[in-house]
Amino acid sequence: MHERPQYSDNRAAPVLAMIKANPLALVVTSGEPAPLGTHAPVLFRHGPDGADETAVAEDGSLTGSTLLGHMDVQNPQWTAMREGDRALIVFQGPHGYVSPTVYGVTPAAPTWDFTAVHITGTLRPTADPDEILAIVRDTARRLESGFGKGWDQEDSVDYFRKIAPGVGAFELRVESVQTMFKLSQEKPAPMRRRIVEDFEGSDSGTHRNLAALMRSRGIVRDDEPGVRG
């Protein structure tokens, strides 16, 4: 990813929040005649206390942490995985097109506000049934907690065991994290407010999520000069 300092934020907290809210990732590995990619749920490994693992390095990044994922065992990408292979895992957050009509000035050019996290590291695939079952159960539990309706998986554990042979799991040891939180930070305060309010009024849930993120990150603040009135 081409990072720009103005939009980059590689601290552990915003990266973890981004991944927790957008766990369906694109897993990319090398292949022939072209790189291989699979969309799969990917999560940070839980720590002993059940919280997301935050083995934060001295520089405040997540280097050295572990991601967990799984995919169909018949997937050619999975069958080609070897321990020590490197992979890129891409998380896409809320995004939206910004029309120049929102700016209220001329001349102007359109843009696309977006959020993304790229994580690279080394892979450790596993075919161990117990390890796969544990990863699948943990993934289901955490996704249900974040996006579901309180489903209890305990009555389905035997079914999980039955389908586990068709699943290939993997760990990725994080080597680097790159981010882009491109949220019109460079625009004047009144213009940023118009952009956020335009997204808030959209029929698109993605746009409304983007507006909420922009507010939470302080892109719009009521104490900025020129905002009130």
In this predicted structure, what is the pLDDT of residue 51? Answer: 47
> d(Cα 183, Cα 210) in Å, to the nearest integer?
8
Q: In one letter, which amino acid is 163?
A: I
Task: Evaluate whether residue 141 is within a structural domain.
Answer: yes
Residues 6 or more apart in contact with residue 217 via CB below 8 angstroms: 14, 181, 183
Mean pLDDT score, 100-126: 95
Q: In the predicted model, what is the mean pLDDT of the chain?
A: 90
For residue 225, the tally of other CB atoms under 10 A from its CB is 8
pTM for the whole thing? 0.90
Residues 6 or more apart in contact with residue 37 via CB below 8 angstroms: 26, 27, 28, 29, 77
Q: What share of the chain is helix, strand, coil (3-state, %, to 5)?
A: 35, 30, 35
User: Reduced to 3 states, what is the DSSP secondary structure of residue 224?
Assistant: coil
In this predicted structure, what is the pLDDT of residue 48? Answer: 45
The number of folded domains in the chain is: 1
The confidence band for 62, taking pLDDT boundaries of 50, 70 and 90, is: confident
Task: Evaluate whether residue 31 is within a structural domain.
Answer: yes
Q: What is the largest CA-CA distance in the chain?
A: 63
Q: What is the pLDDT of residues 19-56, one digit of tens each?
A: 999 999 999 999 999 999 999 999 998 654 444 555 55
- The beta-strand segments (E) located in the chain are 24-29, 36-44, 66-72, 86-98, 111-126, 167-182
Element (H, E) at 211: helix 205-216
Helices (H), strands (E): how many in the chain? 6, 6
Q: What is the CATH number of the domain that holds 118?
A: 2.30.110.10
Task: Evaluate whether residue 130 is within a structural domain.
Answer: yes
Owning domain of residue 20: 12-186
The answer to whether residues 72 and 78 touch, using CB atoms and an 8 Å cutoff, is yes
Query: In the numeric block, which tokens belong to residue 56?
Result: 């934060």
User: Reduced to 3 states, what is the DSSP secondary structure of residue 58?
Assistant: coil
Higher pLDDT residue, 152 or 11?
A: 152
Task: Evaluate whether residue 220 is within a structural domain.
Answer: no
Task: Evaluate whether residue 43 is within a structural domain.
Answer: yes
The answer to whether residues 28 and 37 touch, using CB atoms and an 8 Å cutoff, is yes
Task: Evaluate whether residue 49 is within a structural domain.
Answer: yes
Task: Evaluate whether residue 73 is within a structural domain.
Answer: yes
User: Reduced to 3 states, what is the DSSP secondary structure of residue 52?
Assistant: strand
Mean pLDDT score, 180-203: 96
Task: Evaluate whether residue 229 is within a structural domain.
Answer: no
Among 30-44, 55-69, 73-87, 126-140, which is the least confidently predicted range? 55-69
